[in-house]
């Protein structure tokens, strides 16, 4: 057996910021060298950030990524770090034949590079390209056809990229045939509820299949609607957890491993072998094993208690909003606060993400706003210390109604209700323009699914923090956040009345959500089945749901597609959100 100290750099890149991302690599390599690491690995496409989407189709961007990666190798050497092998993900292009029919123009590739002694020693590209959910990699990349194996301190290390680990065959099969001692996977794996358990089980299974230890490095931070949780980890050849990084924070995970020594002693032995459609490409960086040393105790960051599920979701929402604000250059956020649970949770997430001094709440009471709603909104702002001001909308609504009144009657019913919401949206956007705030839309997933929102009204915003949260989850998150504050001896941030009172848009006298929507527990259950798993009417009825309820919910969801197309982006936390994961035609007569 040979010893090897590996460092997994769990960092937060920004798409397109090649200079800043390269700095992250250099800083990580420096930290790894100080820790005495023999190999340092960074996430998938760290040089460019991830996902780059159609930027991959711009030749100038691909060329800049290739140049930056080559320059990075030289920079590491100039910094005295050339003797430490550094593995990075970057955007490259396929060498060889020209364009092929049905493949992206320019043949871009989601690639990995091994940087050593000032040079790019070896490159390879992702073999399995995901084309489901949020991924469109067949649109953006061409697949790789090699398995890179580098010898580091007498240990053969195979390199794979994200989906290569999730799919059977290909790189995993080839790594086993190559008899490597360590399989390293570079990842840009977005957060979803419960994914950390699935990830660990996957890594354990792949390690056993490969017969080698496995190191999994993932990025952290928000990128548009996606959020990455980190959760980098190492398992041994039996699949037992050896080391694990924290979630939702940057971290350099360093682990001491005992690994199988390289099977081939002759230089170049096994190079060029083809296994499961992949050609094994070997490079020797250093063949002599590390002199025996006393290993350190590896770190396994414990997962939180039963709060883990809801607590993870909350941290994902905070991370997503924090990075959207920071990476897009906003100094502050503004949102309407009504005293209801949705705006209360959105405001709380905002305060936790960017600080109370950068959050601005606007109370916009109408003639139908209850006294307790105004009091709850004021209480929310006072508890959390963010600025709040009141802009009554009744005079503005009245002016609109007078301007739009016909010969016979003024606006009434739904038209009047929507007008109130649109006045609020217009006021928020005006303040955004005047003061430079990012407007936060406060709608939840249940509302977005059923169309229970006003286009250009309460759906207005540049980012929607709870867009992917069912209404029932909104309550769970609010209760959890208050409980966490109480556990820490702090004032719960959300007024209890905002959590416990029946939800209402308060756009007409004594209005309640229950007047026009089913009970949210039942509604969310049907929505999760219809939206989350694509079960149709017959399947839902067979599962025990009332046929009339099913037809009603399906009708609401399908008719609201045009609204969702115009909605703000928001942090994805479920396995199927209402935008990138679910793409349906607006003009559509299929209803079963």
In Å, what is the CA distance from 73 to each residue of 49, 77, 449?
Answer: 18, 6, 48
* Helical pair 471-487 and 308-327, crossing angle rounded to 10 deg: 100
Q: Is 126 a catalytic residue?
A: yes
Strand partners, 116: 119
Please provide the distance, in angstroms rounded to a whole number, between the alpha carbons at the two ends of the chain. 60
Q: Which of 19, 27, 79, 126 is catalytic?
A: 126
Strand stretches in 126-168, DSSP E: 146-152, 155-161
222 with 324: CB under 8 angstroms?
yes
Strand partners, 9: 252
Give the containing element (helix H, strand E) for 201.
helix 195-210
Q: Which of 19, 27, 35, 44 is catalytic?
A: 44
Nearest to 225 by CA among 32, 108, 427, 51: 51
Bridge-based pairing of strands 39-41 and 2-10 is parallel
* Helical pair 308-327 and 341-354, crossing angle rounded to 10 deg: 60
Q: What DSSP string runs through 19-31? A: HHHHHHHHHHHHH
Question: How many Å apart are CA 50 and CA 326, to the nearest integer?
Answer: 17
Q: DSSP letter for 302, please.
A: P
Backbone angles phi, psi at 32, to 5 degrees: -65, -40
Q: How many alpha carbons fall within 13 Å on the CB side of residue 162? A: 26
Nearest to 12 by CA among 233, 228, 195, 184: 228
11 with 24: CB under 8 angstroms?
yes
Q: Which of 137, 162, 229, 447 is catalytic?
A: 162
Strand partners, 87: 41, 114
Q: Length of the chain in residues, anyone?
A: 592
Q: Is 162 a catalytic residue?
A: yes
Q: DSSP letter for 251, please.
A: E
Residues recognised as catalytic: 44, 126, 162
């Amino acid at each position: 057996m040979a010893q090897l100290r590996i460092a997994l750099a769990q960092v937060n890149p920004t798409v397109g910021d090649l200079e800043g991302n390269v700095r992250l690599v250099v800083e990580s390599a420096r930290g790894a060298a100080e820790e005495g690491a023999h190999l340092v690995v960074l996430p998938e496409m760290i040089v460019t950030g991830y996902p780059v989407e159609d930027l991959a189709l711009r030749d100038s961007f691909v060329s800049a990524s290739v140049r930056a990666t080559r320059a990075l190798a030289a920079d590491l050497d100039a910094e005295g770090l050339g003797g430490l092998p550094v593995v990075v993900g970057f955007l490259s292009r396929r060498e060889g034949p020209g364009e092929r029919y049905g493949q992206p123009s320019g043949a871009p590739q989601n690639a990995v590079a091994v940087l050593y002694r000032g040079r790019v020693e070896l490159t390879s590209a992702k073999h399995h390209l995901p084309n489901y959910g949020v991924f469109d990699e067949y649109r953006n990349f061409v697949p790789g056809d090699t398995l890179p194996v580098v010898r580091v301190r007498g240990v053969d290390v195979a390199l794979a990229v994200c989906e290569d680990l999730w799919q059977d065959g290909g790189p995993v099969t080839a790594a086993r045939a190559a008899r490597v001692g360590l399989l390293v996977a570079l990842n840009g794996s977005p957060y979803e509820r419960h994914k950390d358990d699935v990830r660990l089980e996957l890594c354990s299974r792949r390690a056993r299949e490969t017969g080698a230890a496995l190191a999994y490095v993932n990025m952290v931070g928000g990128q548009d609607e996606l959020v990455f949780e980190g959760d980098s980890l190492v398992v041994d050849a039996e699949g037992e957890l050896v080391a694990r990084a924290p979630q939702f924070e940057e971290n350099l995970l360093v682990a001491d491993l005992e690994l199988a020594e390289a099977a081939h002693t002759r230089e170049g032995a096994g190079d060029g072998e083809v296994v499961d459609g992949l050609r094994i490409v070997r490079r020797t960086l250093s063949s002599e094993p590390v002199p025996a040393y006393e290993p350190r105790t590896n770190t396994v960051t414990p997962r939180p208690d039963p709060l883990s599920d809801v607590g993870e979701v909350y941290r994902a929402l905070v991370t997503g909003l924090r990075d959207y604000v920071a990476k897009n250059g906003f100094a502050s956020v503004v949102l309407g606060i009504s005293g209801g649970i949705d705006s209360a949770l959105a405001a709380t997430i905002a305060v936790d993400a960017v600080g109370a001094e950068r959050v601005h709440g606007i109370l916009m009471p109408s003639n139908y706003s209850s006294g307790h709603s105004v009091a709850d909104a004021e209480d929310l702002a006072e508890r959390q210390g963010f600025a709040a001001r009141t802009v009554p909308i009744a005079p503005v609504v009245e002016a609109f109604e007078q301007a739009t009144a016909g010969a016979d009657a003024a606006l009434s019913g739904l038209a009047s209700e929507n007008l109130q919401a649109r006045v609020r949206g217009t006021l928020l956007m005006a303040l955004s323009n005047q003061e430079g705030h990012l407007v936060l839309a406060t709608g939840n997933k249940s509302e977005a699914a059923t169309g229970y929102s006003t286009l250009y009204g309460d759906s207005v915003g540049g980012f929607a923090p709870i867009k992917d949260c069912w209404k029932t989850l909104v309550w769970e998150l609010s209760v959890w956040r208050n409980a966490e504050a109480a556990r820490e001896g702090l004032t719960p941030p959300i007024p209890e009345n905002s959590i416990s009172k029946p939800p209402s848009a308060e756009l007409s006298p004594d209005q309640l959500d229950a007047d026009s929507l089913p009970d949210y527990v039942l509604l969310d259950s049907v929505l999760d089945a219809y939206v989350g798993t694509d079960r149709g009417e017959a399947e839902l009825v067979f599962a025990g749901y009332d046929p009339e309820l099913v037809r009603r919910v399906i009708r609401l969801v399908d008719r609201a597609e045009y609204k969702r197309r115009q909605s703000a982006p928001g942090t994805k936390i479920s396995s199927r959100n209402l935008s990138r994961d679910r793409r349906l035609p607006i003009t559509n007569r299929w209803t079963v």
